[in-house]
Amino acid sequence: MKLPITIILILFHLQAHAFQADIEPSEISIGDAFVVKINSAETVAPQASLNGDALHFGKCGDGCFIAIGTAGLKTQPGVHTIKFELGGKTTELPLTVKHTAFPEIKLTLDAKRVFLSPEDLKRAGIEREKLTAIFQAASGKHWDGNFIVPLKNEFSTRFGVKRIINKEKISIHEGLDIRGKEGEIITASNSGKVVLAEELFFGGNTVVIDHGLGIYTVYMHLSGFKVALNDTVSKGNVIGLVGATGRASGPHLHFGVKVGGVSANPASIFNLKL
């Protein structure tokens, strides 16, 4: 059978636009998370990347794929391109990263708290490597709808704050501190699996939840654990109690979010419509 040339062109046109990609929000600050949704007739997950970092997609219904991405602290302001590939077709979408000014705090601390002993340095290094390895893995989608604030109190030190300690040591705050009283309950920000529940040098008693697709939430300085390694948790389940364990100057929750191994601004993840 011979098809008229116009029909062939229409079919080609439909094929070439066989998927629809949307980014929300399409303009973000440095460190913010964003969500990408793809609608397609394909049954395989799309491939996409931002500046070489892959986005990990899961199903969000019939012909719907969803991924959460971030533009980490090292991202330059400007228009970046997210590249998509699905079923042999490609498309691109712009993501605008706004210039973002993070506040600076000057701190004077006792030298003993700033310079670690060789043993402490070694321990902190091993723990950092362990966490880095955890955050590299992208399992299947466990998160279910929007992320919630794990402790509904005032936010204190925000993401990205640059702390200059004793005029020489610079530490960037890669999480969100939430005020809390010793023993207050902390809940899981979303559903997932507990992949770490142990005492760390800096974080003190720490819980890490794997929400799948490369998304992790981190809860530090707890006074007590209410979950154990490999537990499955639902959004809103109690996971621990506020404390001041590890390197904390007083009781609070340090809440962190990792997206594909990169620290994202936790305040931005609460706004994503998932």
Interface residue list for Zn ion (CB under 5 A): 175, 177, 254
Alpha carbon separation from 17 to 13, 23, 38, 80 (Å, rounded):
6, 17, 12, 22
* 114: Cβ contacts below 8 Å, ≥ 6 apart: 165, 166, 169
Q: Which is nearer to Zn ion, 141 or 254 (CB)?
A: 254
| DSSP secondary structure string for all residues of 167-188 | TTEEEE--SEEEE--TT-EEE-
Minimum CB separation of residue 161 from Zn ion in Å reads 9
Minimum CB separation of residue 76 from Zn ion in Å reads 25
DSSP H helices in 157-232: none
> Which residue's CB atom is positioned nearest to Zn ion?
254
d(CA 217, CA 211): 8
Q: Which amino acid is at 179?
A: R
Show the tokens assigned to 82. 């997210």
Q: Which is nearer to Zn ion, 175 or 192 (CB)?
A: 175
Minimum CB separation of residue 245 from Zn ion in Å reads 13
Q: Which is nearer to Zn ion, 226 or 254 (CB)?
A: 254
Minimum CB separation of residue 220 from Zn ion in Å reads 7
Q: Which is nearer to Zn ion, 212 or 256 (CB)?
A: 256
Contact 69, 26 (CB under 8 A): no
Minimum CB separation of residue 176 from Zn ion in Å reads 7
Q: Which is nearer to Zn ion, 69 or 204 (CB)?
A: 204
